[in-house]
Structure 1
């Protein structure tokens, strides 16, 4: 056995000993609120399909039409011959929706964040990042080689103390999630805008978990708060509430032009297939028109959080459709998830390194398609498992 092989196998065993080893398992997607796993129908609390659009026939048919017209693959990067006219149509509608001058589509939220951050700053600059930001933001900062200053979660005073110490001549980037993906709480966005303006920083907000959900037409939290024009880079995804795939950045025309020329994860990758663009275009239209989906999601989320809290669970600081039950122990969290699955509920155990050590939790993602009867049944099962395992009394 080679030394490197021994070392890597030892590391894998160490991960398993800590109850952090992950496995892939196959599921079949069922429309509305269910998945099929090992022949069993499970109520799905583990996806980010917040508005139930992933199985919408209109998105499916839009994908089919785009593939029939343009083909199965884009065949090249967009700067080569992969920039089909459909891209321009989708980006035009995206910019109108978001109320910005221009928009640019990326292949995923991860590639967008990694590429954008490493294009905005370099080795002589500083990134100020919320301590609970998504891994893609952290990785983008590392790749940029900029100095990283992580401020305490949602702590504007700590952020300002770091900004005060930063050399005036250095480019400063403040970056945050709007809705934090593992806790379901919300960034202090208005305060971040004030600090950005006070210290001459760039402000980038990742609206992956708020796009399609907040705002009059689902534009996101920045629009709900009326501060979208004061944020330099709005980033988000189509793979969650919009039920498709890909990501975007919106902003002033010159910023988007800069990204086209500087973002390596955009320049050096094959463009999204036409089918994805077709479904994105349909989703942007549906999200703006069908406000009832957002209203139902907010109602379901509030109800579920309220009931879990009344039962006695620790749901942290959640105030959105992402609702964790904080457990702590990796082993107990995995067992909790397994017992829920036995009862017919898909709710994944979230463990380090996705979350900090000692904060393992079950993450529930609410959907607009859940009926009240389904939520009540789920709450009964969750309470029963919680009592059985001693998580609640």
Structure 2
């Protein structure tokens, strides 16, 4: 009768009569379980083992039985990305498997501090605090907040996640529940209280089971009007939306350039376990708010901190997604395609403006049957969602396309769902229309508008990703614009064929040493490795302080009058994208002070032809869809040119390095360090970026290239 037999329990629980065979408690447990089976809400856990090197495939209990996973919250498959897994392996070898204690006792590492600083910067807040999960983050912070603020009143969206509901309950503070996204009701409830009454509005950006989004700008405006704090859960949005993956609040800024929405959020919670592909949760807010939670939240204080391996993976994932857009571009593209294909087949998709595809079934038993049939007959895993996660009568299949769901896999899914709907005689959109509609499915225009008002839905046509967003991201993701209505095969493969390269660090280091020795022994020989990034394995950084650099370069460096000019040099024998990102991160984020006369830094891109260098200088360079203005300032030698940008707060060197790479990866980059050392002799052409540093007497802030000898 039951999925779980005694044999599935641990030996420890099997042989403790007071727990497993108690005559007093077992009947009580059994009656509760019987009720779950009766109302079809009993949860069955499928044995699904996702394969790191074959996403989105998994095997079941039978390792030979491969299935396609279509419901993972690892939205971008970052859990298997080489940058992430490599960082985790290094941390494992360096720091071991566990954190060693709570954050207060032996569990507070440099990695934890770096991750929290990174999360604070991501959300443009003063500080952040990492928890073991976002459930704990929401529960702990919301329950603890009321202890510091007397007479606090919570205003909570009816569709908020269980963790937020639990946190508000545990706070024992007064609460007002408003219907989902109902701004008029929210304002009515806010107006009941004096402006002096402390208030917190708690809501989400993307609601996980419906795919609907919160009315963030409007709620922020009401909060300002009535003196309320805002608490926004961005769990299903971080990594997926915004110019750096900070979520929906940042996406509004990306679209309009207006940062007021993101700035209006007082507290933002997020997860490391969905788009970032790891595990853990966090909150970002003002420094004083974070210090309060650090000092008082039991869910943070009395638990072992997350392991350094997890922290290292999260850092790598956030760094990657802050500047790389290919994964989320393809995820959004595939989502739009699947939604349209299901709609064409009259299969009922609950309308929403996000990346989530809820397919309405409307019956718990049938939803479970459909999920089982997909798995057994079609080798497709899509989990059914029943009560209490969704209301009774709104049971559904929850589909989450990812970047690696190719045309072949999408076609297989669509055909399988068509077969299931036919075989099970499941209700289609037209059937729901005859019954007056449900969950936004099968409604005429008037009914749909009423539904939007009553249920607080955001119409599908107000998709978070607009057509303009697709065009912007197609530029920065280097995909070329792809029409979402197209049915052509645009397969995404995030893992190169030699993705195992990160498991061979020792071998690769030997290859890199050999490469550098070859350069040393062949000063006049130009080494041109193949430009296929999949073949690159190593990155090394070298620093040059050379008195023989032409005088023109010194003049190009503002304030430079000494004989030694510090120039960073990047030698690639590894993945170009990873190398450039690595160099840029070092330039942006790590500074040390030296008491010598370096005045500026310059990063150069060497092209094989003058034409390519000129093309680079004359072609608009885009970063996050925004054109960057480049300036040609000096010719170093005959045919060798340098281009600079203004050193401002809005344009930094990392943006330009990435933008150039996005636009000119095929033009060829010279990899020979000795070529520049020998003054190039007019044979090669450079694209350079000048970056000016704060200048004081005998002290200049410069990147730490001097200390870097390998990647």
Distance in 2, matches of 1:362 and 1:324, equals: 6
**Cα contact 1:77–1:269 (8 A) shared by 2:** yes
Who is 2:48 aligned against?
A: 27
2:263 is aligned with 1:229: yes
Name the SS for the 2:79 alignment partner: coil
State TM-score, norm by structure 1. Answer: 0.96
Q: Which of 364, 387, 390 is the aligned partner of 2:399? A: 364
2:384 is aligned with 1:349: yes
168 and 93 in structure 1: CA distance in 2 versus 1, 3 angstrom threshold: closer
User: Which residues in structure 2 correspond to 1:295-314 (within 5 Å)?
Assistant: 295-314=329-348
User: Which residues in structure 2 correspond to 1:92-241 (within 5 Å)?
Assistant: 92-122=117-147, 124-226=151-253, 227-241=261-275
191 and 65 in structure 1: CA distance in 2 versus 1, 3 angstrom threshold: same
Q: Which of 381, 387, 390 is the aligned partner of 2:425? A: 390
83 and 203 in structure 1: CA distance in 2 versus 1, 3 angstrom threshold: same
How far is the alpha carbon of 1:191 from its aligned partner?
A: 0.7
Name the SS for the 1:80 alignment partner: coil
Distance in 1, matches of 2:410 and 2:176, equals: 41
Distance in 1, matches of 2:425 and 2:164, equals: 36
How far is the alpha carbon of 1:43 from its aligned partner?
A: 1.0
How large is the Cα RMSD of the aligned pairs? 1.5
How far is the alpha carbon of 1:176 from its aligned partner?
A: 1.0
Who is 2:278 aligned against?
A: 244
RCO higher in structure (CA 8 A, sep ≥6): 1
Distance in 1, matches of 2:329 and 2:28, equals: 51
Distance in 1, matches of 2:129 and 2:299, equals: 12
**Cα contact 2:50–2:56 (8 A) shared by 1:** no
Who is 1:47 aligned against?
A: 72
Distance in 2, matches of 1:70 and 1:20, equals: 43
Report which stretch shifted further, 39-48 or 230-239: 39-48
Distance in 1, matches of 2:412 and 2:50, equals: 21
User: Which residues in structure 2 correspond to 1:7-26 (within 5 Å)?
Assistant: 7-26=28-47
Structure showing greater radius of gyration is 2
Q: Which of 37, 53, 58 is the aligned partner of 2:83? A: 58
Write out per-residue CA displacement over residues 24-49 of structure 1, whole angstroms, 9 at most, x where no aligned residue.
33322213211111332111112111
Distance in 1, matches of 2:151 and 2:229, equals: 15
Who is 1:68 aligned against?
A: 93
Distance in 1, matches of 2:43 and 2:89, equals: 34
Who is 2:414 aligned against?
A: 379
Distance in 2, matches of 1:289 and 1:118, equals: 35
Distance in 1, matches of 2:252 and 2:360, equals: 29
Distance in 1, matches of 2:180 and 2:349, equals: 17
**Cα contact 1:74–1:270 (8 A) shared by 2:** yes
Distance in 2, matches of 1:146 and 1:242, equals: 33
State TM-score, norm by structure 2. Answer: 0.54
Distance in 2, matches of 1:121 and 1:389, equals: 50
Distance in 2, matches of 1:377 and 1:12, equals: 36
Across the two proteins, how many residue pairs are aligned to each other? 393
Q: Structure 2: any 5+ residue segments left out of the alignment?
A: 1-21, 254-260, 429-711
Report which stretch shifted further, 123-132 or 263-272: 123-132
Q: Which of 367, 378, 383 is the aligned partner of 1:333? A: 367
Q: Which of 36, 42, 62 is the aligned partner of 2:59? A: 36
Q: Which of 286, 310, 318 is the aligned partner of 2:352? A: 318
Q: Structure 1: any 5+ residue segments left out of the alignment?
A: none
**Cα contact 2:142–2:171 (8 A) shared by 1:** yes
Name the SS for the 2:402 alignment partner: coil
Distance in 2, matches of 1:184 and 1:12, equals: 30
Name the SS for the 2:396 alignment partner: strand
Who is 1:275 aligned against?
A: 309
**Cα contact 1:321–1:367 (8 A) shared by 2:** no
How far is the alpha carbon of 1:3 from its aligned partner?
A: 4.2
Who is 2:467 aligned against?
A: none
How far is the alpha carbon of 1:56 from its aligned partner?
A: 1.5
Name the SS for the 1:175 alignment partner: strand
Runs of 4+ in 1 over 4 A off after TM superposition: none
Who is 2:504 aligned against?
A: none
Write out per-residue CA displacement over residues 339-392 of structure 1, whole angstroms, 9 at most, x where no aligned residue.
111211110010111111221111111211111221122111111111221224
